[in-house]
Amino acid sequence: MPVLRSGSPHRRSRSLATAAGILLAILSLLLGLPGTAGAAATTYAPEPTHPGQDWAGSQIAAHEGGSSTAPDGTPPPSAVAASVEGVDVSGHQGNVAWSTLWNSGVRFAYVKATESTSYTNPSFAQQYNGSYNIGMIRGAYHFATPNTSSGAAQANYFVDHGGGWSRDGKTLPGALDMEYNPYGATCYGLSATGLVNWMKDWFATYKARTGRDAVIYTSTSWWKQCTGNYAGFGSINPLWVPRYGSSVGELPGGWGFHTIWQYTSTGPTVGDHNRFNGAMDRLQALANG
């Protein structure tokens, strides 16, 4: 009758466990499994230095050209039965003459709040509160740099520095400015899938913080080049499209209509002028959610 050696099954189990552990460690190093010592961390570019010129809003004209205002400053004829005139501003404008804009018929404004996770607009309070106090419906926007930090990090930074939303009838949902990189590679060195996933992260975080789906500012040319004309945001996120010509033209993939058209970068008082695609009650509905 064979003699059973006490503990030998346990020694075999320990040996198998050790071998399995070594194999898992090797696989982790090769594959970069999440949560393991071999996982590869996302590498981001250094934060931009934010030169004296505030970049946001300037890249479309530089890359795509055009201006739709006549020599006397007259905007192109509206293509819809009703529209609302608006502007967008950033730190480049400094203190804005809101009463002048109001008297010229401007009724809404978007104000740059943040860029990446290292820049806040030094004129934000005057611009955001000033437009509100004169009677305009206003909102804030964030200039994205997807190569410097995650979408979630930048959405949180935006909300924490002026990009929130309240149901007061005077505040538009936040906007994400996705456009040409002023600091380097046009598409931020990311693949189309990488950029789309970054935006999904940003939008999900913003909605979790505010309860609103954000507006997206982007040009058709940049969108085609950098996202492969991705069509997945069109049914959810309102489109704010820049096109400096006589009409809004072709829209990015997924959108059947635009919500806001930035029709010039050389308008009166401040350069960037916009039209909301609808009457004032529709603009108020967007503000109210």
Do the Cβ atoms of 50 and 115 come closer than 8 Å?
A: yes
Please name which of 147, 222, 142 lies closest in space to residue 190, comparing C-alpha atoms.
Answer: 147
Please name which of 120, 87, 128 lies closest in space to residue 105, comparing C-alpha atoms.
Answer: 87
Q: Which two tokens stand for residue 243?
A: 């096109």
Active-site annotation, residues: 88, 177, 179
